[in-house]
Amino acid sequence: MDESYRELERATRDISRSMTAYTDMVRQIQLSSSAFTSIQETLAKQLSFDQSLMRSTSSLLSEMKLNALVTTNFSDLANINLGLTDLVSQASISNSAISKVFAEHNVLRESLASFASQKSAISDLLSSLDTTRLLHTSLTSQYRLLDLETHSFGKLLGANTALANELTSTFGKFTRSYREVIESIPTLPKIHIPTIAKYSPIEYSLELEILERISLDDEEAQENNLEGLPDIDAALVSFDDRLLALINGARQALSSENPDRARHVTTSVRELFTQVLHGLAPDEEIKVWTSDKSHFHNNRPTRRARLLYICRRFSCDPLTKFVEDDVRAALTLVDSLNAGTHVVESKLTPFQLEAIVYRMESLALFLLKISQEDK
């Protein structure tokens, strides 16, 4: 691996350590009765450290030599991360729009409610730290991609050429859409930025996670902890609590010894997605919203029409394209498994099935969050 990429990996891990330190600091503050000045000083030190990391990361990404061995996907992701790095450094964007991206920051703000008159003094610091976390997710994806793209997608499943090519094609389109949606952030209404900035790096990272787990041997795969991702359960309770049975069934099947475990998991998460999609974009509402013939097949709304309807409040073509390619990428493997084509289901391990469950949970939650904008 080129030294530039090793430097990128080290920078990413530095950001990861920064995030760990920040999380520990949040816990300490929540458990203590620290004076306001002490909290402010701690946050200021953390921000100073993060700003230094941002400068070195931005410089590294700008100077990186993309040689002939680097793929189009990697080049796109490098540009994405350079854009995210710039966003992290732009106080006018991060302070006004990304201040509520991560839940623990909201908890921290609540714990500081007694400092109401001085609350704005720490808001800027918290806002800047928010963006560091989303950048870390995307930077991690960048150096993971270097290893992944030297392998045939789906190799561990015994995927045939048709499925391997389809996985490769949908991932390439997803990467380009990811780049375009990140590039669009500075032009969007600020109210929409948190949803896009939070969930798009997560969606991309989880697609990468599945591809790694079905393509790389254990000794080659990066060790990634999927715990701590945004939780869908509360959103499902608000939307349709009957859907909890589907996701809980998939989770329980992960630890089952049932030989039909893989089919149970993939069928459950696919049905969860379908129920969320159709619930957010019912036939009747779409027929009122559009009469475009291309939005219907056999007098039923197409999947694309439903996604366009869900994204309608954003008026952002790059987001709509990202969501379409996100869904297409997520369903490529799941639908092949459910159809019994291309691969042998029994080859799926609990490790691989876990990634599929997390991926489909996150996708459903992303759609739920988009639908709630401006409500």
DSSP string, 250-273: HHHHHT---TTHHHHHHHHHHHHH
pLDDT given for residue 191 in this prediction:
80
Q: Which pTM was predicted? A: 0.76
> Who has greater pLDDT, 46 or 14?
14
Extract the tokens encoding 65.
Answer: 């030599």
For 291-318, the pLDDT digits (tens) are 999 999 999 999 999 999 999 988 889 9
Residue 127 has pLDDT above 60, yes or no: no
Query: What is the distance between the terminal CA atoms of the chain, rounded to a whole angstrom?
Result: 48
Return the DSSP state at 108: H
288, 296 Cβ separation under 8 angstroms: no
In total, the chain counts a number of residues equal to 375
- Closest by CA to 46, choosing from 64, 62, 28, 67, is 28
In which band, very low, low, confident or very high, does the pLDDT at 98 lie, cut at 50, 70 and 90?
A: very low
Mean pLDDT for the chain?
75
Rounded Cα distance, 43 and 26, in Å: 10
- Closest by CA to 247, choosing from 368, 124, 115, is 368
Q: Residue 194: in which H helix or E strand, if any?
A: helix 193-215
| Mean pLDDT, residues 319-340 | 89
- Residue 144: exposure state from Cβ atoms within 10 A (0-12, 13-18, ≥19): buried
Lowest mean pLDDT among 134-148, 182-196, 334-348: 334-348
Residue 116 has pLDDT above 80, yes or no: no
